[in-house]
Amino acid sequence: MTIIADADYYSHPGSASANPARFVNFNVSLAEAHKTGLGSSAALVTSFTAAVLSHYLDRGQLALDSDLGRARLHNLAQAAHCAAQGKVGSGFDVAAAVYGSCVYRRFSPSILDSLGDVGSPDFSRRLEAVVEDSNPSIQWDMHINKKAAVIPAGLRLLMCDVDCGSESVALVKKVLAWRKENPVEAALLWATLQKGTEDLAEELQRLAQASRANSHSFNDLRDIILNIRSLAREMSGKANVPIEPKMQTELLNACCQISGVVGGVVPGAGGYDAIALLVEDEALPSLQAFLDSYITASSNEEGPVRGKVRLLGVKQDMEGLRMEEPAMFADWMP
């Protein structure tokens, strides 16, 4: 079996073309690849799981284009991904890979904790019950709302690669360790950050409706994003984890000075690998020109590090799992 990934999941080393094809052999192992923070691990697990299910099961047993089929794929991919990642993370990346853009509330970790170790007695029976959600005492309780995940007309959500990939699992584990040691302080910060996230979703929905009446005031949206960034930096300091490191703060602040850039954050678990920006359509040329000449500056154990920032060719999408035409993979088939 050959597993390939869209080039925008990874930073492009110097040996790669400046305008690579959709799928590129970077001549490095997966462990050595620099990720852009788009959820490549979850996308890989989800697509691999879907491919295996599609190969071994006919549509009568599992139709991946049906609500029930996607739910079962989601459940199995969550189990596989959490096992591979050490059961750390929200599960949002897998949900987005299956369902597309959505507002997501994670499932209770106890659902997957109930599986026990792979190979333990009756593991397959327990896994089947979890995947099919057939055990009344252990029900999936995540919430997926696609209608709430909207981007107003005239705006697009973009990603920029900073080519300093971070290990999400390592970052998350450090934050969770701080949370465990400081439960009261962490709970307050968590609740405030949750409120900021809910405010962001509500404002985007309001603007999506108002845009039909040609209302394009993004001041409240800017303030909400700035508040979320402030809370992320506060968590960075308290947990001693680079959720929004100084290098990323400088890049985000510089981008936000460009007319038409509404705001941005360091997505996911944070770190050095990427930033996400909400940008008005007409601001794209100015943003691209700025990034073409922008040089990041950071440091590691070996000394100063300088690098370029690349605007990825991706944006928000409501589509999740999709069956592709085999012809597009012809060059990769034996």
DSSP-assigned letters across all residues of 183-208: HHHHHHHHHHHHHHHHHHHHHHHHHH
Closest CA to 200 of 233, 245, 155, 240: 155
Residue 276 near residue 159, CB atoms below 8 Å: yes
| Percent above pLDDT 70 for the chain | 89
Provide the CB-side half-sphere exposure for 214 (13 A, CA).
Answer: 0
Mean pLDDT computed over 147-158: 88
- What pLDDT shows up at residue 304? 43
Of the spans 37-46, 155-164, 179-188, 322-331, which averages the highest pLDDT?
179-188
Q: Is the pLDDT of residue 107 over 50?
A: yes
Q: Is the pLDDT of residue 256 over 80?
A: yes
The structure tokens listed for 314 are: 């991706």
Q: What is the DSSP letter of 136?
A: T
Q: Which one-letter amino acid corresponds to residue 129?
A: A
How many beta carbons lie within 10 A of that of residue 195, not counting itself? 13
Alpha-carbon distance values, 105 to 40, 89, 181, 197, 265 (Å): 20, 12, 24, 12, 20
- What pLDDT shows up at residue 15? 42
Structure confidence at residue 62 as a pLDDT band (50, 70, 90): confident
> pTM for this one?
0.80
66-75, 233-242, 261-270, 303-312: the lowest-pLDDT one: 303-312
Q: Is the pLDDT of residue 84 over 90?
A: no
Structure confidence at residue 8 as a pLDDT band (50, 70, 90): confident
Mean pLDDT computed over 171-195: 92
Structure confidence at residue 148 as a pLDDT band (50, 70, 90): confident
Structure confidence at residue 16 as a pLDDT band (50, 70, 90): very low
Mean pLDDT computed over 117-145: 92
Tell me the backbone φ, ψ of residue 41, rounded to 5 degrees: -65, -45
223-232, 237-246, 250-259: the lowest-pLDDT one: 237-246
Provide the CB-side half-sphere exposure for 161 (13 A, CA).
Answer: 18
Residue 277 near residue 160, CB atoms below 8 Å: yes
186-190, 226-230, 316-320: the lowest-pLDDT one: 316-320
- What pLDDT shows up at residue 306? 59
- What pLDDT shows up at residue 298? 59
Structure confidence at residue 12 as a pLDDT band (50, 70, 90): low
Structure confidence at residue 295 as a pLDDT band (50, 70, 90): confident
Mean pLDDT computed over 8-32: 69
Tell me the backbone φ, ψ of residue 278, rounded to 5 degrees: -100, 120
Q: Is the pLDDT of residue 47 over 50?
A: yes
Of the spans 56-60, 96-100, 160-164, which averages the highest pLDDT?
96-100
- What pLDDT shows up at residue 262? 95
Q: Which residue has the higher pLDDT, 103 or 273?
A: 103
Q: Is the pLDDT of residue 190 over 90?
A: yes
Q: Which residue has the higher pLDDT, 160 or 170?
A: 160
Structure confidence at residue 285 as a pLDDT band (50, 70, 90): very high
Instruction: Give the separation between CA 236 and CA 233, rounded to whole angstroms.
Output: 5
Residue located via tokens 């597309």: 100
Secondary structure E strands in 109-194: 143-145, 155-161
Average pLDDT, the chain: 85
Residue 18: in which H helix or E strand, if any?
none
Residue 109 near residue 87, CB atoms below 8 Å: yes
